[in-house]
Structure 1
Amino acid sequence: MGLDKSESFLDVQEYLNSIDNKMLDVDYIVSQLTEDEKCRLLAAEDWWHTIKIPRLDVPAIRFSDGPNGVRGQRHFNSTKTTCFPAATGLAATWNKELLFQVGELLSEECKLKGARLLLGPTVNMARSPLGGRAFESFSEDPVLSGLLASEYINGVQKHGVACALKHLVCNDQELERNSQDSILNPRTLREVYLLPFQLAIKNSKPLSIMTSYNKVNGVHCSEDKDLLQGIVRDEWGFEGLILSDWLGTYSVAESIKAGLDLECPGPSMYRHKMLASAIASKKVDIWEVDERCKAVLKLINDTQSSGIGEYQEEKTRDFEQDKPFLRNLVAEGVVLLKNEKAELPLAQKKKTAVIGFNAAYAAYAGGGSSLCRPYYKVSPLESIQEKLGKENVFYEAGAYSFKFLPSLGNSLKLPNGNTGATLKVYNYPPDFKGDRDLVDELIMDDIGYFRMNDYFNDKLHSRSKFYVDIESTFIPEFTGEYLLGIAVHGTAKLFIDGELIIDNATNQKHGTAFYGQGASEVRSSFNVVAGKKYSYHIEFGAADTSSLVHEGPPIGGGGGLICGGILNIDPQQAIDRAVNLAKQCEQVIVVTGLNKEWESEGADRVNMSLPPHNDELIQSVLKAKPDAVIVVQSGSPVDMSSWVDDCRNLLHISYGGNENGNGLADVIFGDVNPSGRLPLTIPRRLEDNPSYINFGAQRGKVYYGEGVYIGYRYYEKVKRSVLFPFGYGLSYTSFEYNDLQVKHVDEVGENFIEVSVKVKNTGNIDGSEVVQVYVSQIDSTVQRPIKELKDFDKKFIKSGATETLTCKIPLKYATSFWDEERHSWISEKGEYEVLVGGSSDAEFLTQKFQTGSTFFWKGL
């Protein structure tokens, strides 16, 4: 385990010869580092690696996005990987054991991708349905988020891979995310937004934490000493690495002094030479730099047991043995919201209409940095066809759900007949008069969306100004008018059979794509004949070929492209066709919702609405077939108010990863009894949400005016009705609760409240039940929520059987609030009530308990 620090060494070579199992002697290495090496060590080398120092045998280690898959070290043409449900889908399982297993499988992917540090999980609060990354966080509740994150982290780190818990803190919207200032009082910060981080550190000891882009109360989180050093390290005892979000370091001295160990990504903007200048001018003391270096070296040691090699080649592990787990993971996150006449599950031998764009589209993930390239993806339509037989399943889109035109996918063919396109990379534009200097030639199986921010070839003259000719053969599936579209970070022109169809290079307008730095989509139409071959050619220029000027830091020089197309349909005619099909079939399934374009890092949603014409489609189908099953797929709540009262059968699913369609179909047709519960309240209107008035920036500031009353805490406090409450979800069976027991348990160093309840499956189908434990203070000296979730348990119970479910909650976490006068947590002497049920608005079993004295505490 390294060296006895009492030993002395004549030279570095003697030290290197004595290293045991490559564990670094951190103190010794820091003593040997030159000032230049120290300054370089505190910033990443490139987009995905730390600096290596060969003379001291300090290796580079690799990071990779998370949190719902392991992409590896490339955005562009990345290695395929296992894709898990988005975080709201994982949270909907309310299953700690499953989250641990997710972590274990993620660690296996990390090992194959050569990544020692996984950038996840995300435990920011889903404060508003409009948050662009709400799908990437677990919940509106800090306890649900923190306890699930703990299991996720424990699973990953069990096998030597590190997690970066993110984003510390209040990274709850995308608007002006690098500059906006979150204004909130200390109690709100502690009880809601910091609590999931606190719980995760207490229960899982993550090896790393990532700071957020924004400010909190006037100070950027990456340079907030009170936050990083005062709370995280001194109060919570965190001993790991703190790194910035990508391009989220904004200073030299301030970030070093605050406790930010690593600037990401590289090459460095604020460290290396600028840090050397800060040391020379005494803005930073060398001992502060040494502390930051020790954290980087410690992470290398902490992940050594992973066995992951330096600059390891990326590999894949698309194993059949993983598929049942991933399929069940999706199914456990499906939430049954309505089943008024027990018409679900559907029969597997009836003529079935499947309607909706999201039925044929595999919405496996949200957009942004969490997006990865799955080994495979399965749409609901494919899964239903597999289950019922294609001869029994009939499909109509009814209404489109895209924001940007969808990929042409299988309609683009290479000369050998495979799906895809050829990309030829040049240093010079298409109109260059001399030799364009071919740099690279690549094959991609799908060009519908790609980013080249981390594309590199040493023949390039510039990483941000180069050109790509994209060539394929377009073979349309249908005869008629196709809509074609291009959004771009850079410039692009589309030619069909040599004719210029789209020019998104000359008169560009700002758009929301590519974290708000891309040009808006330009569309055009083109008449085609099904099966006929058309040459498809795009002239793409990297980011610096565009004249658009954007606010905020650049996201990477290579730029990116979204190109797609689809048969143009008249919305009303499409709805009419869907209704006619519904009338002809015995059972009907409508799959609607959002996708990675509507919910994505870089842009918040503008409303809670479904995509255009989807509400009209659902209303029309329900009029024709009142027993139709409506499936809403989204990572955060959508507005259902115009049709939900007419709907008898309703399910919700988040983005489901590889097995998205299969897990959903298993629930619809009864192979799996639904047990998902909502991790987010679904309000009747956006205006009902507690953050409605204060969401978004007002002259750069975001006021958290709702205080601790986020989500269900607010709706209960003001007695405002919602469509579906937090923690809600139905089953195909029924459960009965009895014999609630609440008792004090004293263990070494900590006191607990142990809550147990007997749950009987009173139906005739085996199923899983989620027991939710809430605590309410009977008489407090401050206003508190009506009740707060404190723990939960989930167990599979056979028909007719009874199981005991038990939760053991630290007393101080069960009872305390943040005292702004004492700057500490306070557990007040008095009476509390435990409420146990299957939802936040259940008919609870209750029992009171007493605390004998008031006490204050800090730490974990």
Structure 2
Amino acid sequence: MTTTYKKLDVEQLLATLPLDVKIRLLAGKDFWNFESSPSHGIPSIRVSDGPNGVRGSRFFNGTPANCFPSSTGTGASFDVELVERIGKALGNECRAKGAHVLLGPTCNMQRSPLGGRGFESFGEDPTLSGLITAAYINGLQSQGVSACVKHYVANDQEFERFSVDSVVSQRALREIYLEPFRLAVKHSSPWSFMTSYNRVNGVHASENTQLLDDILRKEWGFDGLVMSDWTGVYSTSQSIKAGLDVEMPGPTTMRGSAVMRQFAAGKIFVEDIDERVRNILNLANRAIESGIPFEAEETAVDTPETRALLREAAASAIVLLKNEKELLPISGKPKKIAVIGSNAKIAVPSGGGSASLAGTYTISPLDGITEAAKEIGAEVSFATGASAFRYLPLIDPFMKNAKVEFFIDSPTKDYFNDASFSAKADWEEPTKSSLAFMIDGVPYDKLGSSPRCRFTAELTSDFAGTWDVSLGSLGQATLLIDGKVVVENVESRRPGELFFTAGSEERRAQVQLEKGKTYLFEVRHWTDPTKVTPGPFATLDKAAGFRVGAYPSQTVEAAREEAVALAKTADVAVLVVGTNVDWESEGFDRKNIDLPGATNDLVKAVLAVNPNTVVVTQSGAPVAMPWIKDAPTVVQAFFGGNELGNGLADILFGKVNPSGKLPLTFPARLEDNPAYHSFGITSDTPGKVVYGEGVYIGYRHTDRSNITPLFPFGYGLSYTSFAFSDLQVSSASAEGDFTVSFTITNTGKTAGKQVGQVYISPPTEGRITSPVKELVAFKKVDLKAGEKKEVTVKVAKEAFSYWDEHFDSWVATAGTFKVAVGGSSDALELEGEVKLEKTFKWRGL
């Protein structure tokens, strides 16, 4: 039952609320809810992960949610109108799940392709990221749901993420890493921010006065709420005085009684506490005014309109990189299409970690291609070819009647391997997944400090022969099949990177299964409190968690030979390869940019036997392509959400003309990335990561260093052709505003969309060293064959400016600047000039 609340009189409440109530409001109530005070009319605000979907208030057995493309895919659309519609759809789903705040969008810069959460960010350019972020926020907040822009700031790696010090010059901090956040505030007025885990120049972001008070609130005029990332508060009085309003999650660790002690010691005052509570109450008023119920039941959203938007978004996230033989779109009515690759059969809608969720449904590439092939009468055959997984795929597709049970009493020594089990559960719940991260949704308060857990599911094999099976867990666990222990993860348990690095390594075994026979898979789990490794999430110390995987055994050579034989007989081969949540996830960074396992050997082998091969790479961040010269047709599909399979098929079969552009530079090799010498575990300064490349990330680096990338920023092909003409650049005002107008013509025979990208280059004299060019505006237009449209974009003073560390301000430099326009950073067809008559300094928005 929900409670109705009236709008709060904030100042009156601040004058009358008891101090203990105010202090209680400074931290979350639980994992997904703010504290409340019903007797004072203050509701509990519910938050939900983001950023590419609305998971709701449970990791474990949560209400199904729609998954939109991960942020690099959304960034590839270069389409602010589409992103605003995505934001509205996410807002509607927040309403259905009773969530008042969505924890997104993420607008950190992708400094290195190795960043584990790189797929959560929109790209490497602050203008692209800032304007896409603003569109997302405008759509979301139009539905009465607060965006929570994250992670503020310089949160660019997972290695030592709670402690690492991001050492970055003030110029790079301002021009690159803070800039998308500033643009978001300028163009959308977000209602909340989330601080990052890391230090910035020696001070943790959650207690950094310069970032939270001087820049965000005073300089930019932000008047919303600032919350911490989960467990990202490391001080009491410092974080309160710096401007951090709410510690998340609850129950509190750094506030509560600690605040009272700091208050008694005179380290903080009532005025400091009131400043924080005022922002909490203001956000509560926005939640009240939204009409979203408090403590509401969660429901799923699955409508034809939402599915259509998911499909449109998936197609917009795809970039055509090569089409030399015009193999795409698939035409000529091929009779046999070979689909190859584990990313084809096992859908990868998102990266891992807090961005992952249980989808309402998912269309794999194999599903989408098979359905599209029916329309042209083609037969589709499939072979895996090479495994892309780091952990064995979950048993979910094969299981039924799955449930988890909890028992209050501690386990006997035989608990993990006793074939007979008849104890009555103290709590149980059915589940649809063999990945159970039970950090929430389980009544641990009633089950004791360390309950034991049992998972059972019936699995029917679709393959006769040898299977690999696996188990990973938070605590100690064993996997039994029909009462026999097959995987032991108790005495042999070793720490690994599962479950936000709090889990174990994956343990594997081989078993013989008969086709069509049903087996009882059983996991017995217990967390031994004497063997818990303290981690950032206190609830993990007793929470149950495990993942069960299984996959038919096959040697690398046999898998590749099967795929090659299939490719030889096909008119067209579609090779879908890439990464997945095993390789790109919150909690750890990538070790390299190579495709997993034997993937590259598979690609080379298939290309050698079938020249009509379409290579589809799917990843959240750049991957190396050592076979690129031999591949005439290459498509980059980012993590595409629920409809990734249909979106890909729409592109491959020509229902949609590809229009995506790379939001990231794809380097030919990892060493060409500017952060190569100072990222994560490669850093030569333990505890610190020095941003030695300064402002030169992404295309700024390749331009200045004269490096030819594999594919440049802003690049993307189409099935039609476009021409740019009629460039007009207005005079610049004294405030630094001007407009750029140009015409885009579709010179081909197919309707399509093109992105007009506007770059500016500074004068070569009278200014400090600066990037060769920088993106300052972009506009996507939809054109019929032969159609032309005039495009006009507004450019502001940022285009003329750099951050001057001596004056501690932006400086817009007088002089003549070159303006260039085109469809990619390396294909600028038009050039003009704009002159700023007088130098001026500025701060703020």
TM-score normalised by the shorter chain: which range applies? over 0.9
Task: Give 3-state SS (helix, strand or coil) of 1:127's partner.
Answer: coil
Q: What's 2:407 paired with?
A: 426
Does 1:722 pair with 2:722? no
Q: What's 2:786 paired with?
A: 800
- Find the partner of 1:52 among 36, 40, 43: 36
Q: CA deviation at 1:429?
A: 4.0
Q: CA deviation at 1:391?
A: 6.6
Q: What's 1:229 paired with?
A: 213
Give the distance between the partners of 1:58 and 1:551, measured in 2 at CA.
32
Contact 1:494 1:538 in 2 (8 A): yes
Residue identity matched to 2:815: G
Evaluate the alpha carbon distance shift between residue 217 and residue 553 of structure 1 in structure 2; reply closer, same or farther with a 3 A threshold: farther
- Write out per-residue CA displacement over residues 763-821 of structure 1, whole angstroms, 9 at most, x where no aligned residue: 000000001011110224211000001110001000001011221011x1111000000
Q: What's 2:433 paired with?
A: 446
Give the distance between the partners of 2:230 and 2:522, measured in 1 at CA.
33
Matches within 5 A, 1:232-631: 232-347=216-331, 349-389=334-374, 392-414=379-401, 421-431=402-412, 438-447=425-434, 449-457=435-443, 460-462=446-448, 465-542=450-527, 544-545=528-529, 547-549=531-533, 552=536, 554=538, 556-557=540-541, 558-631=543-616
Residue identity matched to 1:423: V
Task: Give 3-state SS (helix, strand or coil) of 1:556's partner.
Answer: helix
Q: CA deviation at 1:597?
A: 1.4
Q: What's 1:6 paired with?
A: none
Name the stretch that deviates more: 35-44 or 433-442.
Answer: 433-442
Task: Give 3-state SS (helix, strand or coil) of 1:300's partner.
Answer: helix
Contact 2:64 2:300 in 1 (8 A): yes
Evaluate the alpha carbon distance shift between residue 827 and residue 588 of structure 1 in structure 2; reply closer, same or farther with a 3 A threshold: same
Does 1:657 pair with 2:638? no
Name the stretch that deviates more: 299-308 or 594-603.
Answer: 299-308
Contact 1:45 1:51 in 2 (8 A): yes
Task: Give 3-state SS (helix, strand or coil) of 1:564's partner.
Answer: strand
Does 1:765 pair with 2:746? no
Q: What's 2:27 paired with?
A: 43
Give the distance between the partners of 2:551 and 2:320, measured in 1 at CA.
32
Residue identity matched to 2:245: D
Evaluate the alpha carbon distance shift between residue 373 and residue 553 of structure 1 in structure 2; reply closer, same or farther with a 3 A threshold: closer
Q: CA deviation at 1:459?
A: 6.1
Contact 2:362 2:641 in 1 (8 A): yes
Give the distance between the partners of 2:233 and 2:164, measured in 1 at CA.
15
Q: What's 1:713 paired with?
A: 700
Matches within 5 A, 1:20-35: 22-35=6-19
Give the distance between the partners of 1:407 and 1:546, measured in 2 at CA.
30
Task: Give 3-state SS (helix, strand or coil) of 1:189's partner.
Answer: helix
Q: What's 1:702 paired with?
A: 689
Contact 1:505 1:546 in 2 (8 A): no
Residue identity matched to 2:300: T
TM-score (norm: length of structure 1): 0.94
Give the distance between the partners of 1:603 and 1:433, measured in 2 at CA.
35
- Find the partner of 2:177 among 174, 193, 203: 193
Give the distance between the partners of 1:483 and 1:355, measured in 2 at CA.
21
Q: CA deviation at 1:73?
A: 0.5
Give the distance between the partners of 1:790 and 1:462, measured in 2 at CA.
57
Aligned length: 829
Q: What's 1:741 paired with?
A: 728
Evaluate the alpha carbon distance shift between residue 762 and residue 137 of structure 1 in structure 2; reply closer, same or farther with a 3 A threshold: same
Name the stretch that deviates more: 340-349 or 97-106.
Answer: 340-349
Q: What's 1:4 paired with?
A: none
Contact 2:335 2:378 in 1 (8 A): no
Give the distance between the partners of 2:801 and 2:12, measured in 1 at CA.
44
Give the distance between the partners of 1:384 and 1:498, measured in 2 at CA.
40
Name the stretch that deviates more: 131-140 or 270-279.
Answer: 270-279
Task: Give 3-state SS (helix, strand or coil) of 1:257's partner.
Answer: helix
Does 1:93 pair with 2:77? yes
Q: CA deviation at 1:472?
A: 1.6
Contact 1:427 1:436 in 2 (8 A): no
Name the stretch that deviates more: 819-828 or 525-534.
Answer: 525-534
Task: Give 3-state SS (helix, strand or coil) of 2:678's partner.
Answer: coil
Q: CA RMSD in A?
A: 1.7
Task: Give 3-state SS (helix, strand or coil) of 2:390's partner.
Answer: coil
Task: Give 3-state SS (helix, strand or coil) of 1:492's partner.
Answer: strand
Give the distance between the partners of 2:749 and 2:335, measured in 1 at CA.
23
- Write out per-residue CA displacement over residues 459-508 of structure 1, whole angstroms, 9 at most, x where no aligned residue: 63336x22211112221111111101111111210011211111112122
Q: CA deviation at 1:182?
A: 0.4
Task: Give 3-state SS (helix, strand or coil) of 1:238's partner.
Answer: coil
Task: Give 3-state SS (helix, strand or coil) of 1:569's partner.
Answer: coil
Give the distance between the partners of 1:437 and 1:536, measured in 2 at CA.
18
TM-score (norm: length of structure 2): 0.96
Give the distance between the partners of 2:701 and 2:530, measured in 1 at CA.
46
Q: CA deviation at 1:439?
A: 2.3
Task: Give 3-state SS (helix, strand or coil) of 1:844's partner.
Answer: strand
- Find the partner of 2:672 among 688, 695, 716: 688
Q: CA deviation at 1:428?
A: 2.4
- Write out per-residue CA displacement over residues 300-356 of structure 1, whole angstroms, 9 at most, x where no aligned residue: 112333211110111112112221221111111110000002111112553100000
Give the distance between the partners of 1:751 and 1:25, measured in 2 at CA.
41
Give the distance between the partners of 1:436 and 1:53, measured in 2 at CA.
41
Matches within 5 A, 1:134-145: 134-145=118-129
Q: CA deviation at 1:750?
A: 5.4
Give the distance between the partners of 2:362 and 2:537, measured in 1 at CA.
33
Matches within 5 A, 1:202-217: 202-217=186-201
Evaluate the alpha carbon distance shift between residue 674 and residue 433 of structure 1 in structure 2; reply closer, same or farther with a 3 A threshold: closer
> Runs of 5+ in structure 1 lacking a partner?
1-19, 415-420
Does 1:790 pair with 2:790? no
Residue identity matched to 2:573: V
Name the stretch that deviates more: 285-294 or 496-505.
Answer: 496-505
- Find the partner of 2:47 among 57, 63, 67: 63
Identity %: 43
Contact 2:467 2:511 in 1 (8 A): yes
Residue identity matched to 1:807: V
Contact 2:5 2:43 in 1 (8 A): no
Q: CA deviation at 1:84?
A: 0.4
Evaluate the alpha carbon distance shift between residue 584 and residue 546 of structure 1 in structure 2; reply closer, same or farther with a 3 A threshold: farther
Residue identity matched to 2:451: F
Give the distance between the partners of 1:857 and 1:459, measured in 2 at CA.
54
Q: CA deviation at 1:30?
A: 1.1
Evaluate the alpha carbon distance shift between residue 808 and residue 459 of structure 1 in structure 2; reply closer, same or farther with a 3 A threshold: closer
Q: CA deviation at 1:844?
A: 2.7
Matches within 5 A, 1:171-190: 171-190=155-174
- Write out per-residue CA displacement over residues 584-643 of structure 1, whole angstroms, 9 at most, x where no aligned residue: 1111100000111110000001111111010000000000012200000000001112x1
